[in-house]
Amino acid sequence: MVKTPAKNKKYTQRRRVKVRAEQGYVKRQQQDSCAHLRMRAMLTLFVLCLGFSSIGLQLGHVALAPAQEPRASIRDLPPVPTKRGDIYDAHGQLLATTLEVPSVYADPKRVLDAEETAEKLAGILPQVNQKRLSKILGNNKRRFAWVQRQITPEQAFQINTLGLPGISFRYEQVRVYPQRRLAAHVLGGINVDGRGLAGVESSFDEKLMKGKDVHLTLDSRLQEQLRESLAEAYEESSAKGAWGIVLDARTGDIRAMASLPDYDPNHYGNASNAEKFNPMTFGRYEMGSTFKLFTLAQGLAEGVVTPESEVDCRKPLKIGKYTIRDYHAKKRVLTATEVLRYSSNIGAAQIADAFGGDQQRAFFSQLGLLEPLDVGLPEMIAPSYPANWGRVHTITMSFGHGIAVTPLQLAAAVATVSTDGHYRRPRLIADWSHDKPRPVLGANTVAQVKELMRDVVINGSGRKAQVAGLDIGGKTGTAEKVSRKGGYSESKNLVSFVGAVPLDKPELVTLIMVDEPKKGYETGGRIAGPAFQSFVRRSMPLLAMAPQPQQAVQVARKQGGIKKQGERIYASIQPIGTTTR
C-alpha cells in the first residue's frame, strides 16, 4: 500500500509553517524598520525645531537691543562720564559748562551700500572725507567706526531721516564757553575726550571730572573792560602782545586777567601756541622802571633817603666796566621824589647802592618776587635772578634789569607798597582761604610811597593815565628786551604802567603791559598809561567810583611848585566815556 499522500501532506504542512515563519519575520522586520524611521524623523524634527528656536531668540535679541550700540561694538565705546562741573566767576556768571550733543558712528557689517552711504553722509557733514569713509564702511569685518563726533542737532536730524542701515548715534558731552574769548587763558581748554589741557580746566581736572563746580575770583564785568582796553592799545600800537592784571588791593583777589593775542576755548585745538601762551603767570620779564617803586620804598624804609633828599644825577654813573645812563637825562641834582618822577636810573642805582644787596634781596623776598607764585594755574614759572647777588646786580635790579618776574608777581608787590604795606598772596580760586597778610612796610613809608606815585601821574611820565576826578598813583616802565644775540635790543621794548585807584584807599591795583609796540609808542607813558586810563574810565560805573574834580585839584596843588598845573591837567581831560591817547 502506497503512503505517498501522507508524506506529501506532512511536507505540505511543514512548508506552510516555514512560509508563515518567514512571513512573520519579514513583517517584524518591516515593523522594526518603520519604528526606526519614525524615531529618526522625530529626532530630525527636534533638531530643526531647536535650530529655529535658537535663530528666533537671536533675531529677537537683535530686534530688542539698542540700535546705537551693536553688541560687538559695546567694548569699543567709552562709558558716558559724569557731567563735568561748571566754572563760575565771583558773581555766579557762567564761564564754562557741559552740554550733551550727538555723535554719529557706523557698524560697517550692517551697511548695505558703502559708497552710497558715504556719499549721503558727506553731503550733510562737510568735514567728512567721502572716499575715506567709503573705504571704512566697506570693511565688513569691523563693527564700529566713528563717522564724526559732536555734530549739531540739525545734522543729526538730517542723517536720521535718511534711514541708513548701520548708521547710529551716541550722545557725548561737549564743553561750552558762553563768554568765548573773555577769559581764555584763565579757563584753558579740554580735548575731545573731555580732559583738561590748560588753565583751570587742567589744574582742577579731577574735581571737574567728578561733577564738582569751580568758582573763581574773576569779575566778568571788569574782565571785559580790561580786555577791551588792551585790544585798543594792541591794535593802535601794532604790538606783538598786550596783557593786564587787576587785583583787589584789599584782599589780593584777582578780579581780571587778560592777554592778547588770545583764542576761543570752544575751539581750543585751532589755537596757535602763541595764542595759547599765558604771559601773566607763565612769562617772566625784566620789568624796567616799575622796579624803581621798590627801590624808593626800601630807601625810605631803611632811612637812606627822604622824599626831599638830593641825589646827584648830573652825569652817568660808572660801576666797574658798566655805565648807568638815564633815558631822558636831566643832568642835574634831583630829589628822591624827582628820581621817581623822571624815572632816573642813575638816581635809583645810587639809592640801592646805599642800602646794599643783602637788604635788597631780603626786601624782594618779602614782596614775593623770588619764589614761584601758585594761584591755581598749571602755567607757572619761577622768577629768574643772579645766584651771585653782587653790587652790580644790586644796582641794575634797582631799575628792573637783571631780574625777571611774572606780571602777576609785580602787581602783587605794587599792591603791597601802595595799599597798607602788607603782602597779600594773589588768589584766583574763590574757595581757597586767604593767607594771612604779611607786614612789609610801615604806615609812614606807605604814605610817602603814595605821594611819590601820585607825583608820577601828575607831573611825571604817567600823566596820560590820569582820570578826571580820581586820585591815581602809579609808575611807568620801559624795558629793552633781552636779545637772542646777547645784551639788549634797542628796537624792541616791553612797556608798562601799574597804578592804584583811588590812591587814598586803593580798591584796585592794575598792571598794563604792551609787548614790542611800534615806534611812537615805545614807552610806558605813551601807550600803557592811556590803556590804564581807558580801563579805569570803563570800570568807574561798575565800581561806583564817583568823580570828585575839586578833590583831585586839591591833590594836585599839594605837589610843591606846580600851583595851577593841577587845574590845567584836569581841565584838559575829556569827560568819562571817551578815551584820549
| Catalytic sites, residue numbers | 289
Sorted by sequence, the CB contacts under 8 Å of residue 481 that are 6+ apart come out as 286, 488, 489, 492, 493, 494, 516
CA angle 425, 479, 324 (to 5 degrees): 115
How many whole angstroms separate alpha carbon 514 and alpha carbon 404? 16
Q: 563693527: which residue's cell?
A: 143
CA angle 281, 406, 409 (to 5 degrees): 100
Spatial contact of 477 and 497, defined as CB atoms under 8 Å apart: yes
Sorted by sequence, the CB contacts under 8 Å of residue 76 that are 6+ apart come out as 143, 144
Spatial contact of 108 and 138, defined as CB atoms under 8 Å apart: yes
Q: Please report which helix (H) or strand (E) contains residue 508, including its range.
A: strand 508-515
How many whole angstroms separate alpha carbon 397 and alpha carbon 403? 6
Sorted by sequence, the CB contacts under 8 Å of residue 156 that are 6+ apart come out as 102, 104, 169
DSSP collapsed to 3 states, 342-353: CCCHHHHHHHHH
Pseudo-torsion of CA 283, 289, 290, 292, nearest 10°? 130
From the centroid of its chain, how far is CA 415? 24
C-alpha cell at 428: 584766583
